Amino acid sequence: MSLLKQLFIAICLFLVVAFTGSFIAGVEHSREQSLAQLRSHAQDAATALGLSLTPHVDDPAMLELMVSSIFDSGYFASIRVVAIPSGEVLVERRSTTTADKVPDWFARLVDLQPQGGDALIMRGWEQAARVEVLSHPRFALARLWDSALASLLWLLGCGLVSALLGAWLLRAQLRPLDALVQQAQAISRREFHSLPKVPRTPELKRVVLAMNQMVDKLRTLFAEEAARSEQLRESAYQDSLTGLANRRLFDIRLANQLIVNEQNAEGYLLLLRVNDLAGLNQRLGAQHSDALLAAIGERLRQCSVEAGHGDWLASRNRGGEFSLLAPGLSAEEAERLAAQLCDALDSLGRTGASDCSPVAHLGLAAFRPGESAEQVLERADQALAEAQRHAQRPWARIDDFSAAPAHGHEHWRTWLDAALAGRHLQLFFQPVRRCAGERELLHHKVLARLHDAQGETVPAGRFLPWVERFGWAARLDMAMLERCLEHLQRYPQPLALSLSTASLQDAGNLERLLAMLDKQPACAHLLTLEIDERHLPPADELEQLCQAIRRTGYRLGLQHFGGRFSLIGNLTRLGLAYLKIDGSYIRAIDREPDKRLFIETIRRATHSIDLPLIAEMVETEGELQVLERLGIHGAMGRAIGTPQLRAE
């Protein structure tokens, strides 16, 4: 029973006891007062009647007449005149009427008996007779009943008003407790909110201030760990001059992109090299050269942003050499991108260079999952060398001609439209397990595959770039969500499903998604929706999105985490179910100590808010053992289990 109900019941019991005691005391006081009035009335009547009968003591007719005239007033139970000393009753009148308006139970409870009085009738100096008068209690009983009834109604009204007023005051005074409960529940969801309104009640005020102090302390500790993690990431994986990724992160992402899995797609590697950087340093000075390199880096970053691909990586490898890893980029788009970059580089000016020499040369090399990093880099170097040999244009493209020719734009549009419209979508399930102990199952990650014309399944890494290019990402999300909910109705088990940016940032798509979730509340505890860290909306919109999804009962997780450590400071308000660390930071972690330090820093930051960490793309048993020693909650990848058609 809640504290509010307990206090309300206690107040009601107190009011009942107080009003009952007051009512009984009032009735008893009225009873005693009525008895006194009855005795006084009887004695006064007897005295007056005795004086009136003295002159007529020997006249029986007059005695009876005068007694009858007094008795007929109705206030007496009996009047009689008794002779002295014989004791003979000379005149007697009695009444048998009762109070009609008074209930019998009240009359028995009050027990208001007739009260008497007497007086002597003298004959000279001799006592001739005695007048005995009994006052009838029916009138006093009627007045007592009316008084008790009015008092009861008044007390009941006062009690009801007091109870309602007390309940309102209690609710108003205890409202901070509801806020404290919500604050505690938010802390359990890894959200840290301070209560802005401090109650006036001293006891509650101390509790609220203590809770706010605890929340502020936790938020400060988490922010410090987040800042430390961000500094570590910048020093380890970011170029200090341009703000782009450095060569170490580029090598990690390239190797990770070439792993054959469900999410990796083919694309192009763009290699850019500034012409005669040493000569520019001598002719223009280091400051102007650094400004040129920073401008080139900014332009590469803008290319990634304008393309809308969060999984692209722009990096400065060394000196005047830059690279752009662009998975999902087609050949035509790669050529347009190269031409746009060359025009942008020309706009930077050719100060210090010869009139016919471009600022930089570009080499484009195709890559596909399954190749080695050395093959791709060799192909990119070859394309860059070819661009430097030809004066017609400052870029060149080399594809892997040993591979089968790719399908064209219209083929992909026709096939994907038919596949999505015809429900040819197939769900595959990849297990996610704990790192420690018996490695029990946490959930299954749901992956998408489509059937082609030959009946073969096409992994998501091949068709997802085309889905995004055609603007059908939200359409695919809705189809996947619909299939997942149907699967959960038949086979209840914990699942995780990724959502695209198109479903989250467009108001119409988000409304349809939330409506679909609201229709299936029974599946809320089984399905966790995942969003990509590389496609997150601004902090305010992200917080509203998390709240909207939590209102449906479903949970939200963050995948591919690691590239935006500044986001850690906002995790305290999101209430996420878990974080999935990007596989780039997991690959070869058993052989690279700096990655272990990096992951340990993330773990300390998230451990302060009890946020589970799950490692993505764990490929070897050695990586899994290191993650277990680091205290990572869970893992997924080929070392845990490959995607299967059925969730085991």
Q: In 3-state terms, the chain is what percent helix, strand and coil (to 5)?
A: 55, 20, 30
Q: Return the pLDDT at 445.
A: 93
517 with 565, same domain: the answer is: yes
Residues 343-356, mean pLDDT to the nearest whole number: 62
Residue 267: CA atoms inside 13 Å, Cβ hemisphere, count? Answer: 24
Worst-scoring range by mean pLDDT, 184-198, 368-382, 417-431, 610-624? 184-198
pLDDT at 414 over 60: yes
What confidence tier does 394 reach under pLDDT thresholds 50, 70, 90? Answer: confident
Residues 305-311, mean pLDDT to the nearest whole number: 73
pLDDT at 403 over 60: no
Starting at the earlier edge strand, list the strands of the sheet with 89-94. 89-94, 76-83, 126-135, 115-123
* Residue 188 placed within a domain: no
Torsions phi, psi for 574 (to 5 deg): -95, -30
CA-closest candidate to residue 445, choices 528, 564, 543, 546 = 528
Q: Return the pLDDT at 530.
A: 92
418 with 387, same domain: the answer is: no
CATH of the domain at 31: 3.30.110.200
Query: What is the domain range of residue 67?
Result: 3-160
Q: Return the pLDDT at 443.
A: 93
* Residue 419 placed within a domain: yes
349 with 421, same domain: the answer is: no
What confidence tier does 402 reach under pLDDT thresholds 50, 70, 90? Answer: very low
Q: Return the pLDDT at 334.
A: 86
* Residue 215 placed within a domain: no
CA pair distance 425, 431, nearest whole angstrom: 20
What confidence tier does 301 reach under pLDDT thresholds 50, 70, 90? Answer: confident
What is the identity of the amino acid at 493? Answer: Q
When comparing pLDDT for 454 and 484, which is higher? 484
Cβ–Cβ under 8 Å, residues 429 and 644: yes
Count Cβ neighbours within 10 Å for each residue of 45-58 and write b for 16 or more, e otherwise: bbbebbebbbeebe
Q: Return the pLDDT at 401.
A: 44
Q: Return the pLDDT at 354.
A: 46
432 with 318, same domain: the answer is: no
364 with 506, same domain: the answer is: no
CB proximity list for 73: less than 8 A, separation 6 or greater? none
365 with 468, same domain: the answer is: no
Per-range mean pLDDT, top range of 65-69, 126-130, 551-555: 551-555
* Total structural domains within the chain: 3
What confidence tier does 230 reach under pLDDT thresholds 50, 70, 90? Answer: confident
What is the identity of the amino acid at 174? Answer: L
CB proximity list for 178: less than 8 A, separation 6 or greater? none
Worst-scoring range by mean pLDDT, 77-86, 260-269, 569-578? 569-578
Q: Return the pLDDT at 569.
A: 60
Q: Return the pLDDT at 433.
A: 93
CA pair distance 605, 220, nearest whole angstrom: 11
Q: Return the pLDDT at 615.
A: 92
471 with 563, same domain: the answer is: yes
pLDDT at 48 over 90: no
Segment 243-293, tens digit of pLDDT: 888 888 888 888 888 887 767 788 899 999 888 777 777 777 778 888 888
Cβ–Cβ under 8 Å, residues 144 and 112: yes
What confidence tier does 566 reach under pLDDT thresholds 50, 70, 90? Answer: low
* Residue 582 placed within a domain: yes
564 with 605, same domain: the answer is: yes
386 with 495, same domain: the answer is: no
CATH of the domain at 384: 3.30.70.270
Q: Return the pLDDT at 1.
A: 65
* Residue 550 placed within a domain: yes
Cβ–Cβ under 8 Å, residues 89 and 82: yes
Per-range mean pLDDT, top range of 111-115, 545-549, 565-569: 545-549
120 with 262, same domain: the answer is: no
CATH of the domain at 602: 3.20.20.450
73 with 136, same domain: the answer is: yes
Percent of the chain scored above 70 by pLDDT?
91
26 CB-contact burial (10 Å; exposed 0-12 / middle 13-18 / buried 19+): middle
